[in-house]
Amino acid sequence: MTALNSLTQRPSGLAQAEALANLAVHALLDEAMLTPKPGLVDMRGNGAHHDLSWLLMCRSACALRPAFQQMAEAGATVRDPGLLRRRIGAIGREGEAAMMEATGGVNTHRGAIWALGLLVTAAARHAETTDSTAIASTAGMLARIDDPDAPAQTGNKGEQACREHGVGGARGQARAGFPAVVGQALPMLCLSRSRGDTEPQARVNALLAVMAGLDDTCLLVRGGRRALQSTQEGARRVLALGGIATPNGRRALHALEARMRALHVSPGGAADLLAASLLLDRIERGHE
Ligand SMILES: CC(C)(COP(=O)(O)OP(=O)(O)OC[C@H]1O[C@@H](n2cnc3c(N)ncnc32)[C@H](O)[C@@H]1O)[C@@H](O)C(=O)NCCC(=O)NCCS
Ligand SMILES: Nc1ncnc2c1ncn2[C@@H]1O[C@H](COP(=O)(O)OP(=O)(O)OP(=O)(O)O)[C@@H](O)[C@H]1O
């Protein structure tokens, strides 16, 4: 019996919500810790980010625990989908405020609150299943419901990039049921583990699998179409060479890192989706 299952069989939805919030924070810490990640904050340094640091990412992750727990509680108790969407929208905005307070006003995890928030809510709503595709699909259903209390336009850079470049961004990815997670990252994690790559190598390969196809607005905002295309091509190349466990794959990763450094770009959306994938992987494998 998995850790989550054993908790879900207890009468208390509170214990289950607590467990899910712990898993979400753990997934964010796993993502922050994973090294090497091209352009992103990792254990070596701040990547392309001047205002982020590893410590800040960890502090932010821990500050999000209450928001994830409240979302999971709502997922377990509010049955009406419209009411649930409204409720987690409010919690998500409070979570963003808690993040800003913890980081002194730096956006460390906006995209992650969105993606992991929807997923913990969905996992709590369907406590009987630990299947990633089922959880992601319920999260997608919630993301497709409009939140009546959401500001019509946030003015955020991601939103502008979606308009300017005609892409779906973080919202589109969630509304489609997280195809980059279910169709790219999780299968790559599985393939990479099965061929004997180490766990960190499997996770970096999963990140690259997301980067290879995602319309990442973090890349579009900073570097436009050219940066997005060049990053996607670079990620595909590493994977085509067998991923980062192979010498050729590692060389291609270094070339990708150098290119991203020169362009001052970072795949923040892909990082969020890697964290989302690690959360679903933990739920499925029953790890706390
Ligand atoms: C949808 C969100 C991310 C806002 O998006 P917005 O268009 O304003 O863009 P913004 O630049 O602020 O954030 C985008 C973030 O998503 C990530 N991202 C970028 N591209 C992608 C992508 N293709 N797929 C997934 N994530 C992506 C990036 O890390 C980026 O930081 C979210 O903050 C939101 O709507 N929050 C309101 C609270 C809410 O409704 N919560 C609901 C449950 S959690
Ligand atoms: N390890 C990581 N390193 C950097 N960014 C990450 C990491 N993991 C996730 N991200 C995501 O990347 C986003 C940060 O991207 P970006 O710096 O472009 O956003 P911004 O704060 O809106 O822009 P700017 O820093 O240019 O003002 C965060 O919202 C976060 O969700």
Q: Where are the domains of the chain?
A: 13-151+160-285
User: What is the CA(78)–ligand 2 centre distance, in A?
Assistant: 31
Mean pLDDT of 255-277: 97
SS3 content of the chain, % helix, strand, coil (to 5): 70, 0, 30
Mean pLDDT of 86-94: 98
Residues with CB under 6 A from ligand 1: 88-89, 92-93, 110-111, 113-114, 117-118, 147, 150, 154, 156-159, 169-171, 173, 214-218, 268-269, 272-273
pLDDT, the chain, mean: 94
Q: What number does the ligand 2 atom closest to the CA of 156 have?
A: 22
| Structure-token match 């460390």, residue found | 108
Asked whether the beta carbons of 51 and 106 are under 8 A apart, the reply is: yes
pTM over 0.90: yes
Using the predicted structure, report yes or no on whether residue 214 has a pLDDT greater than 70: yes
pLDDT, residue 12, reads 66
Q: What fold characterizes domain 13-151+160-285? A: Triphosphoribosyl-dephospho-CoA protein (1.10.4200)
Q: What is the pLDDT of residues 145-197, one digit of tens each?
A: 999 999 877 888 899 999 999 999 999 999 999 999 999 999 999 999 999 99
Asked whether the beta carbons of 170 and 216 are under 8 A apart, the reply is: no
Asked whether the beta carbons of 117 and 275 are under 8 A apart, the reply is: no
Tell me which residue of 37, 34, 20 sits closest to 282, measured CA to CA.
20
ipTM of the complex, rounded to two decimals: 0.90
